[in-house]
Every structure is written in structure tokens, then in C-alpha cells.
């Protein structure tokens, strides 16, 4: 079970961005590029700010690369990660 859990980690991401700077389609393309499986859970708009919630599954190292990408991308205002969602 432990090897399966390591190979298929699950995380819940909440990502905030301005749509004109970084469209939602780009985020989903990036998730696919990293080879991660995802389900979009929620999209919420507050004026120009977009909040998108995803459940993401995949290899832990790929998710760490995704975290690093989100940290370095200037179009992402903020993101939150829940490591062990129910």
C-alpha cells in the first residue's frame, strides 16, 4: 500500500490568478504537461480575480515540480495545497 500511495499521491490545489494574465486553460495544459491527472472542482470569479480548485493525482516528484512552477510563475497570485484531502 505504501508504494502505491507514493506512486499515486493526491493533493487539493486552490489557485488564484487574474484571467487576463493567465487563463484557466493554461493551468489545465500545465497539469497535463506534468503528466498529472486532475479534476476541476470549483471555479469562482471575484471581479477580475479567478479562483480554481483542483484535485490532482500523480507521482510526488511531478507534484513537487508543479509546486515549484506555481511558486515561480508571476501570473499566479497565490496558491494553497492540501496534502491529504479526504
Does 51 have pLDDT greater than 80?
yes
Distance of CA 53 to CAs 1, 3, 7, 84, Å? Answer: 27, 27, 22, 15
* Residue 35 phi, psi dihedral angles, 5° rounding: 75, 30
- pTM to 2 decimals? 0.83
C-beta of residue 26 within 8 angstroms of C-beta of residue 38: no
Predicted confidence (pLDDT) at residue 55 exceeds the cutoff of 70: yes
Amino acid at each position: 500500500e505504501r508504494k502505491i500511495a507514493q506512486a499515486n499521491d493526491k493533493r487539493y490545489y486552490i489557485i488564484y490568478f487574474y484571467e487576463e494574465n493567465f487563463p484557466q486553460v493554461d493551468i489545465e495544459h500545465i497539469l497535463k504537461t506534468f503528466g498529472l491527472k486532475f479534476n476541476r472542482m470549483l471555479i469562482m470569479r471575484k471581479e477580475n480575480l479567478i479562483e480554481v480548485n483542483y484535485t490532482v493525482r500523480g507521482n510526488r516528484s511531478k507534484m513537487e515540480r508543479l509546486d515549484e512552477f506555481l511558486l515561480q510563475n508571476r501570473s499566479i497570485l497565490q496558491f494553497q495545497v492540501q496534502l491529504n484531502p479526504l
